[in-house]
Structure 1
Amino acid sequence: MPALLAEDLLNQMIPPLKGTDTAGKAARWLEEFHVGQLPVLAGRRYRGLITERDLAEYEDSDTQLAELPLGYANAHVQHDQHFYRVMEVAVENKIQLVPVLDEQQDYAGVVTVSDALAAFGAVPGQAGQGGILVLSMEERDYSLSQISRYVEENNAKILSAHVVNDEHDPYRIRLTLRLNVDSLSRITATLERFGYLVTAQFSGPAVPTNDEQDRFDALLRYLSV
């Protein structure tokens, strides 16, 4: 099944800065968009992130960003990389947003940590327990009570649910479910039998590798904050 990828989570509301933009403009945009970093481009190429700390070191607001040394040049992901990798880059670099590059290595946009977590909802529970299903459906087909019945018929319960509009189709929604069971194959089969499209699942019937389990545990620790 297809997994949730970086390109699925792009935030179109946060613009990049250009090298010809000034430090003053960068400071205004950081405040306006309520972020601690913003990407800086040279043409369509990603150069790095400008941060509040960087700007605090320069008193001349007319200084162009091209003249400033930028950090986080390697803090980015490819458009087709997994949600796990987005979160890893954010954690490793302690940043609020992660730049995404396309097939040509040009800048495609950013994924914010808050948007990524909103896609999964605020999930209670301890790390490493339960699984996550992401469903896509037409808005008219959404009925949490009916979906809950299908889940409970498989001896499981929904711990939390989060609905967002599908950015690619105004008539569809994406529903993310946190369940209290690790094995998702029977639940997935039931939902698909009744016409629901399961686009991603985390934790499942296969025994995860140590690396996969570490990533899943890290994800759930994020969701439990």
Structure 2
Amino acid sequence: MKVRNAIHGDTPALNVTDTVGEALGALMEHHLRHLPVVDDSNRLIGIMSEEALMTADSHTTPIDGLVARQPIAVHPNDHVFDAARTMVRHGLSTVPVADAEEQYVGLIRRHDIFDTFARMLSTQASGAILALEVDPRDYALAKLVHLIEQNDAKVLAVASETPGQTNAQKHRVTLKLNVTDTTRLRHVLEHNGYEVVASFGDDDDELAERVEAFMHYLEV
């Protein structure tokens, strides 16, 4: 999904002529820690943080001298993954969206990215979630999907983490399936070298234990 489809249109940017008090009020109103700052021609100037505002001597001080003049932004045609990466890299609660001429288009909030990822991962669809770990040399997505489909199930969404992204030594894969009973499928996956770390959404009596295991898996 492109950034332009995830822009939050109800949160206005700050203007360089706004005061500290006005900027703090906007942050509180929208429950954010960062807001883009534009000039009178709607050009993106930078990002105003709550932390910087709290250092001001007076609430009547214009934010022009406090704003971090680093026009960090993503383009409307970028993928939402780019927005998420930018947000994490710079520790932001919002990411400005600007065109090639640095004209401000809008912003994406952390919640917007979360909602987009939730839709991409088919979280609203009925079905179980399996969390797997496998040695990197044995991981092939096509092979994994084929194995699942051979057992009368389909993969609705997949997310993966390589060992370089985490402290784990194995490749981590989270699958959203179109079935709720994965008892047989788990045995098949284990037999083929996949370690089923957690399973959520099944219809048997082991659900509580697997939810606890899944939470532990996420904390590792």
TM-score (ref. length: structure 1)? 0.55
- Map of 1:153-168 to 2, 5 A cutoff? 155-158=153-156
Partner of 2:58: 60
**Alignment partner for residue 22 of structure 2, among 20, 25, 36?**
25
Give the whole-Å Cα distance in 2 for the aligned partners of 1:45 and 1:61. Answer: 24
Supply the AA of the counterpart residue of 1:58: A
Shift in Å at residue 152 of structure 1?
11
- Return closer, same or farther for 1:108/1:126 CA change in 2, 3 Å cut-off: farther
Shift in Å at residue 26 of structure 1?
0.2
CA contact (8 A) 2:47 2:68 kept: yes
- Return closer, same or farther for 1:152/1:48 CA change in 2, 3 Å cut-off: farther
Partner of 1:9: 6
Q: State which drifts further: 119-128 or 25-34.
A: 119-128
CA contact (8 A) 2:47 2:71 kept: no
Partner of 1:141: none
CA contact (8 A) 1:6 1:86 kept: yes
Supply the AA of the counterpart residue of 1:23: V
Partner of 1:120: 117
Partner of 2:79: 82
- RMSD between aligned residues: 3.3
- Return closer, same or farther for 1:157/1:84 CA change in 2, 3 Å cut-off: closer
Supply the AA of the counterpart residue of 2:61: T
Does 1:71 pair with 2:68?
yes
CA contact (8 A) 1:19 1:65 kept: yes
Q: How many residues align?
A: 143
Partner of 2:194: none
Task: Name stretches of at least 5 consecutive residues in structure 2 with no aligned partner.
Answer: 124-128, 135-140, 142-148, 159-174, 179-217
- Map of 1:1-225 to 2, 5 A cutoff? 4-42=1-39, 43-68=41-66, 70-71=67-68, 73-121=70-118, 126=131, 155-158=153-156, 179-180=176-177
Give the whole-Å Cα distance in 1 for the aligned partners of 2:117 and 2:133. Answer: 15
- Return closer, same or farther for 1:110/1:127 CA change in 2, 3 Å cut-off: farther
Shift in Å at residue 21 of structure 1?
0.8
Task: Name stretches of at least 5 consecutive residues in structure 1 with no aligned partner.
Answer: 132-150, 161-177, 182-223
- Return closer, same or farther for 1:60/1:91 CA change in 2, 3 Å cut-off: same
Give the whole-Å Cα distance in 1 for the aligned partners of 2:80 and 2:131. Answer: 20
TM-score (ref. length: structure 2)? 0.56
Shift in Å at residue 104 of structure 1?
3.1
SS of the equivalent of 1:78 reads coil
CA contact (8 A) 2:94 2:108 kept: yes
CA contact (8 A) 1:79 1:103 kept: no
CA contact (8 A) 2:44 2:71 kept: no
Supply the AA of the counterpart residue of 1:75: I
Q: State which drifts further: 103-112 or 16-25.
A: 103-112
Of structures 1 and 2, the one scoring higher in RCO (CA 8 A, sep 6+) is 1
Report which of the two structures shows the higher radius of gyration computed on alpha carbons: 2
SS of the equivalent of 2:113 reads helix
